[in-house]
């Protein structure tokens, strides 16, 4: 269920393998969106584009029918893009959290932080332990 080509944070964000420019996509995991339920609103302020955020900084909130949850940076990064589709269709995160449901495109600032994130198998054990 958790793609092997991604890394995972303890806050249930995923990040893609960086390209040659250290650029990656960030989103929330299937587990996270499933726990939240039907997502109705995503609040990520466009003023963060071009800014550097540190690991575990909040970059927005996600609202489901019953709850609101903060979104955290899995690594320190320069914010390059917000997935504009999600602003009008946040339910894409429920439909496909690993593809169309990506939230940010970033440039990773410290690859050491990326290297410390969990692989798919580690993340699966982590979420099984939290149930």
Give the mean pLDDT of 92-99: 96
pLDDT at 117: 98
Distance CA 104, CA 19 (A): 15
pLDDT tens, 13-22?
999 999 999 9
85, pLDDT greater than 90: yes
pLDDT at 29: 98
Distance CA 51, CA 48 (A): 5
pLDDT tens, 58-68?
999 999 998 99
Q: In CATH, what number does 6-111 get?
A: 2.40.50.100
- Give the phi and the psi of residue 81 in degrees, each rounded to 5: -160, 150
Give the mean pLDDT of 106-124: 97
Domain ranges of the chain: 6-111
Triad 83, 84, 89: Cα angle to 5°: 100
pLDDT band at 1 (very low <50, low <70, confident <90, very high): confident
């Amino acid at each position: 269920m958790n793609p092997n080509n991604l890394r995972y944070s303890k806050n249930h964000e995923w990040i893609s393998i960086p390209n040659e420019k250290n650029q990656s996509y960030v989103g929330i995991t299937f587990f996270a969106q499933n726990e939240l339920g039907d997502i109705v609103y995503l609040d990520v302020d466009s003023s963060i584009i071009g800014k550097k955020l540190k690991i575990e900084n909040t970059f927005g909130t996600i609202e489901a029918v019953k709850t609101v949850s903060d979104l955290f940076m899995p690594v320190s990064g320069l914010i390059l893009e917000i997935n504009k589709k999600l602003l009008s269709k946040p339910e894409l995160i429920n439909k496909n959290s690993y593809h169309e449901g990506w939230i940010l495109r970033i440039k990773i600032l410290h690859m050491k932080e990326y290297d410390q994130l969990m692989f798919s198998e580690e993340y699966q054990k982590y979420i099984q332990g939290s149930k």
